[in-house]
Structure 1
Amino acid sequence: MEGANQTEVTEFILMGFSTSPELQRILFVMFLVIYLLTIASNTSIIAIVRTCPTLHCPMYMLLSNLSFLEIWYISVTVPKMLAGLLLGNRSISVSGCIAQMSFFFTMGSTEFFLLALMAYDRYLAICHPLRYSTIICNALCLKLSAVAWASGFLASSVLTVAVSRLSFRGPNEIDHFFCDFVPLSKLSCSDTRLSKLVCFTLTWAVAGSSFLLTASSYGCILRTAWRTPSESGLQKALSTCSAHIIVTGIFYGSALSMYARPPGMESSSMDKVVSLLYCVLIPLLNPVVYTLRNKMVKEALRKAVMHSGLFRV
């Protein structure tokens, strides 16, 4: 038995949510519907922004970029989870597990930066409308988006290197529905203090810096709206930003509660539920929230639907 315990693990088993066949079928249908809706809504936004000339501006380029990210973000975790629920195949190789974790952290880190850029763009548009077009343009928007993606890859690469140095010799059951850092590190027989410190530091570096820009941008927007003599101006600003702030707050709060805990603090049984917020719920909510009250996007969507002839008699 002692020799068996020293055998290097070649694959992990993702435990998921339940072993009940009835509940697994329900979860499969629910997550499949959410996944398809997320892919469809985000793909629609990308198509509308690309085909509608009036939407070729920084705000909608950032929105299209976010939709592109959300497609990959949810696709990193949900398809494997659906395969486990439907087919019962919950195994994943060690290299595949680390790769899934790496891509997940890349998308998550990039989303922090993109949300900060979108908040800053709204700040410039609302607080400095006359200077907006001279401060930010499409070319600058593309460069900033590229920096956001590169920063996400860089942050994820540092954590991936730290995790790849860990050894796993059993047990191999991950109490999660995807290869997340917290449950994965609990299975390592190596000293995980350094990797946990790396995760803790990177989370605060990425989330902390982006949160400062996001919070200050929305704070300035609300302050400007409050000083606006017109009551309609205040209501318009609050209507535009309130949903953004709520969804962004859910994303920041759930992510920080998972990865910004002190290295010595143990994980809880609610971690899988919290993970669903930023893995599954946020990619579905973002396209709805950022387009629900946007007249230009809704008008472009209406024209696209009418042009397609779907409602012709």
Structure 2
Amino acid sequence: MTFTFDELAAATGNFRPDCFLGEGGFGKVYKGHLDRINQVVAIKQLDPHGLQGTREFVIEVLTLSMVDHPNLVKSIGYCAEGDQRLLVYEYMPLGSLENHLHDLPPGKRPISWNTRMKIAAGAAKGLEYLHDKMKPPVIYRDLKCSNILLDEKYHAKLSDFGLAKVVPSGDKSHVSTRVMGTYGYCAPDYAMTGQLTFKSDIYSFGVVLLELITGRKVIDHRRPEKEENLVAWARPLFKDRKRFSEMVDPLLEGKYPVRGLYQALAIAAMCLQEQPNMRPATADVVTALDFLASQKYDPQSTTPNSKSPSVSPIIQKTDDN
């Protein structure tokens, strides 16, 4: 749908401060109510001097017009009037995953282990749709906690497709492009060569999964120097099973399944392999996380769910290699 600027201004009370939801390199996002469709929406107003230019705006409009998946934010429409560029999305009441992991306000309860695995599985399914189901396929290129939005039931949806890259047809396995994305989430191979592949997204997903497990920020300058970079801190710990418990978010207060933790860390470690060809396929990540999300951990019981098989499909597959 196309909207006029006046219509979107009216929906947000002329972009009132109390309708403001957040801000990124592209501009500001507001909550609004559109009378024409009687729906609460999120309206992204691009900053004309921001990082996201007209090209990215067009990519986002086109990408969102093609996608239809429960784990991708639905696009409702846009406005391109004069120099105004706005995008209208479905409103996600719980905001981004980042709001539920980092810098929690006093009294806000951390999300449980079960919810974290459900969010990880949902985000992986959104990625799988972009990689394997869309024609032509799309490399997301900007997977991070602030781009994973949550509805009222903590159902995860990927958002913000301004940096998404359509993979040309033919047998090209990568797209050469200038390096864009967010520091800390960017795959080292992509950062060094500018060659973007589906495995670049898998690396970023590994970082997000590590954030979900540890509760730590990707880059945190408040921590000691050796712990500032999440992935650099985690790499030596991946190799020592005895230290796995040190990696869990302390806010979980020990309420997590030990076996589930091992498996989640194993998936994260595989996604974060330095060599892109060593990282798992998106469909395998979905299979493994679907399995983990189905293992409901009960914090009231002293032992984790005893019915769970000893290893998840992706771990088994890797151990056989």
Give TM-score, length-normalised by structure 2. Answer: 0.31
Structure holding more strand per residue: 2
Give TM-score, length-normalised by structure 1. Answer: 0.31
Q: Which has the larger radius of gyration?
A: 1
Identify the structure with bigger relative contact order (alpha carbons < 8 Å, sequence gap 6+): 1
